[in-house]
Structure 1
Amino acid sequence: MVWFITIKFQVTFIQLEKIKYIYQPVDDIYVVLITSINSNIVEDTQILQCIVSVLSQRLDGITEAKICSDVFVITDIISEFCNFDGTCEKLTSSDVEQNLAMQSQEEELYFLELKQKKNDAKKLAQQKASELSAEKKSREKMEKQKGKEQRAIDEKYQEIQRIQQEEMIKMQEEEERRRIEKEKKKETIKMKKGGITLGKQKKILFDEEEEKNVLNNEDNSASQEEEQQQPNQEKKVIKEKKLMTENMIIKLIENVSCSMYSENSTCSLSLAGSLSVSVADASLTHTPITINHYELPLKTQLHPQMDTTAFNKDHILIPKTNAKGYAIGSTPSLLIKWSYTSTDNESLPISVTCWPSEEEDHLSMTISYETKKQLNNLRIIVPVKENVIVDSCEGTYNTEDGLEWIIGNVEQGSTGAMEFTLNDNNLRTDDMFPVKIEFDVDQTYSGLKINEIKLDSVDTSIQCTTDFKVFP
């Protein structure tokens, strides 16, 4: 046993009845070795000197402060000299340094396990970083693709609006031309005023073809009246006036577009619609028109002359009190526009999947579909024209304006597939998109329709049906 004590006098050893104390002064510290009475004093002195030498080297001098702060280091050094059975070994400083530098089997196993844990943690961190990087790239790609699809939908919607505006301008120009012609014929065509017959309910809506026939009859009768006698002329005029006073023209148009812009995207649907009205008499210019509560979340836009409160509250189309009201004549004026876009497969009437494949010298693609409701004249169009070989097709096809897969009328739950090959090394998968889906429906896709037309002069409701046009 080795003690460190502070002492004011110097001796070599102290011998008692059973033990002896061998000590050596080091500055103001004494290192004491306790041995049995029968031990060799010379060997004990050498061991003590060796202990002091090693401690001085490892602690850079033996002081009370260093002894208190480096207890474990001192314990390791002493344990190299003194065994647990009470014997001591005579070692040199180099022997002790070598023994202290050696590692036990348990230490080596511990350090190996620690190193393995560090390597595993490093690999896990790298794997996680790779996953996060891949997820970030995938998210950026999806956002980029989504932005591309949204831009395409917006462009399609703007194109539809432009076409509608052009149609309205043409209709207004035609109406102005007809109005000028009628002004010229006023001297020869006499029309007496009349009103709507309220004694019975009538349908006050007719289609565009009937309107054209009525207008043509007016023009033809005007030219013939100059050659006919006055009684026949007056009879013809009365008949024409009856047609105009008993009818209201309602024109409902919807443009529906469904496209798929890449193999990983879903089908996107774009819809734009409008409702126009004209009346035959000034008494009908403020007639309320009730439309149904449609299910789709349509974005509606009313004409500034229409009553917004009545529409938002009860879905009633009626001009404001101080507004001019509906157009009088054969050309309807626009009352309301609506639009709708969706990439949600659940809201689409058909699900289309594309499976493109790039080979060394050709491209191939398989297209499959599944309908969710009954569709008429279903067609799927791929924007490729040349070097097309159709390997299999459920239906017919033509390649005049792109590869058009003509499926026809299908029931709800119908499925089908077409496979084709492109022998062109310059084409890539993106050249086969966008894929367009066109179809006809038996009613407006938005579900919007006329419920009721109610005369404002008396408490009489006139039930009516609606003719409409849906353009793919």
Structure 2
Amino acid sequence: MVLLAAAVCNKGGKAIISRQFVEMNRSRIEGLLAAFPKLMNTGKQHTFVETDSVRYVYQPLEKLYMLLITTKASNILEDLETLRLFARVIPEYCRNLDESDIVDQAFQLIFAFDEIVALGYRENVNLAQIRTFTEMDSHEEKVFLAVRQTQEKEAKDQMRKRAKELQRQRQEAEKSGRAPSGFGGGGFGSSSFNRGDRGDSATIIDTTPSEPTKPSYQAPRIHVRIEENISVTAGRDGGLQSLELHGIIKLKINDEKMARAILNIANNDKKGVQMQTHPNIDKKLFASQSVIGLKNQDKPFPVGQDIGVLKWRLSTQDESFMPLSINCWPNESGNGCDVNIEYELEQPNLELNDVLISIPIPSGVGAPVVGDCDGEYNYDSRKNVLQWNLTVIDSSNKSGSMEFSVGGHPDDFFPVNVSFVSKKSYCDIQITDIKLLEDDSSAKYSSEVCFYVDKYEIV
């Protein structure tokens, strides 16, 4: 077949976008497109019409037409097959299938059209390949980003070295009782400068009254991060196939005085997690008193680094341990499926934030029609996924549901994927206090908890 052009038209025959694939002057293609609505008024029920020179092959898309213009010598069966592929591409990029949506996605559609036809001839591609080709990453962009990241890292390293050098100079100056180089200028104290090549120097005294010094913010001398990630695979008919959780306590010492600190841990876990301390941590002390301390006090914690001091792991098939259960019920109807999906918070002590439940939608069936919905939703036509968004799930709204209708088969709506974050530990492991080993006094510290999803799917 030789495909001259492809266009999306409205019911009146007006071309919204058009792409020609062979050499043809503008007036010629405009004349062919203008003739199409006149041929549509003949009352024929076929999906193609012919003139003396070309064939129009078309398919209705709600308020629009997908139109191909081919030569009369082309194979009509191949024409119709190609038309169906073009028609399936449109819903990939356009959610509402109206004129404004077509205009908004014009460039994406044209790029997709170019993947189907080259120089007037059909390429051997399917819908999945078209999606892959149009979304393919640029190698040059990856190289550029890698170079930029390297440059940023080198700049940060230089800044750290400079900061350490300035800190060393300041400490040496404080020991000798003089003002450090690079500090105390700009109207505070004194500074010296060289007089050309004479080798002598002069001192400038600033007599401007200085304002009272404001107290500066001091970062905590220690920071503790409790991090957990979870992987869950559950069956669509109920039952947990696997649940695996990994946790770690990371410690960052910002002051050398804290390098021999000890951490008091509250282990409220009732799920039976397996714990393991770092080799440099006193295991007996932790086992007997839930205290994280150094095994050898001559080897203090390093300063300015994140150090993992305690890890834990949980693996189970007990579905009562699931943070969130998801039930998806697709029921076949006359034109496709009616789908009801619901969630239930299984751990009432948790608070899940930024919850995203993603349901796959078959390609080429258009946007789903959503009925009742707790929270918000969004249909991504390019990825063929319906995204159900919930800002927070806790004991006050531990359950919710969404209903929608769309074409397809019940198997098309799996796997359902879930993601969330939480500021509460799944295993309820907490830092209660940090003390200085020398005098057993409590130290100021900051802490954070991050519980997040590595993989969470209902298959």
TM range (shorter): 0.3 to 0.5
The structure whose residues are more often strand, as a share, is 2
Higher helix proportion, which one? 1
Which structure: larger Rg?
1
Higher-RCO chain (CA-CA 8 Å, sequence separation at least 6): 2
- How does the TM-score come out when normalised to structure 1? 0.47
Normalization by structure 2: what TM-score?
0.48
